[in-house]
Chains A and B, each alone.
Chain A
């Protein structure tokens, strides 16, 4: 057990140290990489948040709604009511939690594709609403006050902290008794219920946790990007982005969404640099290939590889008389 854990621990510590040190020595002159990493972390947090909800079998297309609600709430309270930016971001994520709990109760009986459509409708109606309403700035959007006076390295450390919190929560949920309730609900809700699992409570709770992180990242990013509009905050691209990374990386774990987000966003950047405008075609093909041929994502690929490496040893072991 220790032999298996040590390298993982070392890798984790090295990665974390690299992530914390990234903004300081060499890269101060390279805001591009810092900005890119920051974007990857935003994407990864969204992916982790989507995955937590998916563990209860709820495949959401509403993550743009929580993201946008966080962003709009925070920008509105900071500009109109003079609330400090950090408090605004926290308030934004709380509003997302409340909305998610409401949506969760309404969509309790829906499954699979019907659930996805209902959550998409929720997200789209919020987009139309922010476009039509005056106090949200309409289609022109709103200017957001900067987080930490626009200091990029400091902003970077904030999203690193948010990401670490999301990883910790995602990991901890999987190690706790909740894991059993979530998995049971995902595989068979009725059986879970007659075995004593309070299905409503766990589904709504997963919704709330998930929305908290989506709202948090939305609000955070608004104050880094300094502008929000209905088209970006509530765009389908956010919802799809949130679900692509976990599917690509491997569902129902902390590692999968994280790995998926990093590989996808970094890969996208490399392709964009190499191919220019046409990169989306190749990107799309790779995604389609992964979903078709690697149903368990990168994590699944690794597990299969590790199993195959162990097997020959086992076979020779059995051959010994």
Chain B
């Protein structure tokens, strides 16, 4: 069953077409990766899905509902959660309070403060930040901030979780922990759509991969399939390098 469908979405900033006629389907329950060189339009795609900007053309369907013009908070209520590539914690709040925002406002049915606190504690446990709950966010390290990003997104109890480069800047050990965490998240019947540059993690996690280059989708399939796609190799290595390999 298709959970998310992008139908020919296009987004331009002035003369720069960031996303061009992109169509893509994410099935319920899978882990789907969006990869591509810098500036390929991956983060813009996330912004379009989470509602931070409207597409110029095209349609976005979530679980059969047209969400193209919905506000971000309405999409959150429908079950779309996301993290941000540049960690953006709420300063002036503790880690637990950061997560509580999601518990309080991420659902259609409002929660009491007490219920939200209790549920946020459970989410912190799942995301591996339980030992930091009473800490102010200022002064947290990269790995902990990434975990907090995930915890906040999980607190809205998403059916679709968008992970924007949660591996970037992590040590290999931390990245392995993150991979394990994402696998655990999927077991809770959460569909995952992720952007990442760490290819070993993408290979370990994603059942299907789509490759973007200059806003266009140039390949889609399993990691093995796209890794051998000529256009993909050119996009990553540059045409000259590839041509230079010829005898």
Contacts and interface: CB of A to CB of B under 8 A. Distances in A.
Select the residue from B90, B91, B107, B156 with max chain A CB neighbours within 10 A. Answer: B90
Given A177-B113, A180-B101, A188-B88, A193 B71 contact: yes
Interface residues of B, number: 35
A278 B96 CA distance: 50
A67 B91 CA distance: 32
Interface stretch (A43-51, A91-99, A109-117, A196-204): A196-204
B105 A195 contact: yes
A132 interface: no
For chain A, which range describes its interface: under 10, 10 to 19, 20 to 34, or 35 or more residues?
Answer: 20 to 34
Interface string A155-188: 0000000000000000000001100110110111
If over half of A's interface residues share one DSSP class (helix, strand or loop), that class is named, otherwise mixed; here it is helix
A188 B92 CA distance: 11
Contacts of B51: 193-194
Contacts of B91: 187
Nearest to B50: A194
Nearest to B80: A194
B73 A193 contact: yes
Given A180-B97, A180-B105, A184-B101, A196 B76 contact: yes
A187 B50 CA distance: 19
B105 A183 contact: no
B151 to A, nearest CB: 11
B215 interface: no
B97 A195 contact: no
A82 to B, nearest CB: 44
Given A193-B73, A195-B156, A196-B156, A177 B104 contact: yes
A137 to B, nearest CB: 44
B203 interface: no
A191 interface: yes
Contacts of A22: none
B91 to A, nearest CB: 5
Contacts of A193: 51-52, 71-73, 76
A181 B105 contact: yes
Interface string B56-78: 00000000000000011101110
A250 to B, nearest CB: 13
A23 B205 CA distance: 73
Interface in B106-141: 106-107, 110-113, 116
Contact of B73 (A176, A183, A197, A252): A197
Nearest to A192: B101
Contacts of A177: 104, 110-113, 116
Given A186-B92, A190-B52, A193-B73, 12 more contacts: A177-B110, A180-B104, A181-B101, A183-B92, A191-B152, A192-B101, A193-B52, A194-B50, A195-B76, A195-B101, A195-B106, A197-B73
13 contacts: A181-B104, A192-B105, A193-B52, A194-B51, A194-B81, A195-B76, A195-B102, A196-B77, A196-B105, A196-B156, A197-B73, A197-B101, A198-B105
Interface of A: 176-177, 180-181, 183-184, 186-188, 190-200, 252
List 8 tightest A-B contacts by C-beta distance, closest first. Answer: A196-B76, A193-B72, A196-B106, A196-B105, A187-B90, A197-B105, A184-B101, A195-B102
